[in-house]
């Protein structure tokens, strides 16, 4: 009986361990007034294209809106209007 000279069959068993990462998002809180609910963004130099469809009666229905922001996007607290842009990357 001859030994099998072919390529040895290699069987690798890959055990894929799914990383158990629990996403715990720290709430963003305004450091000035403690607000953690209301925020707003102001985009500078935004180019907005809205496509309308005109109805028979002359009214318009917005179909699609495309926005391209070329400027800075600032992020503000909705209560005290503090500039929280430095916290925005956590969003």
Binding site for Zn ion (CB under 5 A): 30, 32-33, 35, 77, 79-80, 82
Min dist. Cβ of residue 17 to Zn ion (A): 42
Min dist. Cβ of residue 34 to Zn ion (A): 7
In the complex with Zn ion, the residue whose CB is nearer, 74 or 79, is 79
In the complex with Zn ion, the residue whose CB is nearer, 31 or 71, is 31
Min dist. Cβ of residue 40 to Zn ion (A): 11
57 vs 20: CA distance, rounded Å: 57
76 vs 86: CA distance, rounded Å: 10
90 vs 25: CA distance, rounded Å: 9
Question: Which two three-digit tokens encode residue 5?
Answer: 């000279």
In the complex with Zn ion, the residue whose CB is nearer, 33 or 48, is 33
Helices (H), the chain: none
Q: Strand, helix or coil at 91?
A: coil
């Amino acid at each position: 009986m001859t030994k099998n000279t072919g390529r040895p069959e290699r069987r690798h068993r890959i055990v894929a361990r799914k990383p158990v990462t629990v996403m715990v998002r720290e709430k963003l809180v305004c450091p000035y007034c403690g607000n953690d609910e209301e925020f707003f963004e102001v985009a500078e130099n935004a180019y907005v294209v809205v496509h309308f469809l005109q109805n028979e009666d002359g009214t318009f229905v917005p179909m699609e809106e495309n926005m391209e922001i070329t400027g800075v996007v600032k992020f503000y607290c909705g209560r005290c209007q503090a500039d929280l842009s430095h916290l925005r990357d956590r969003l």
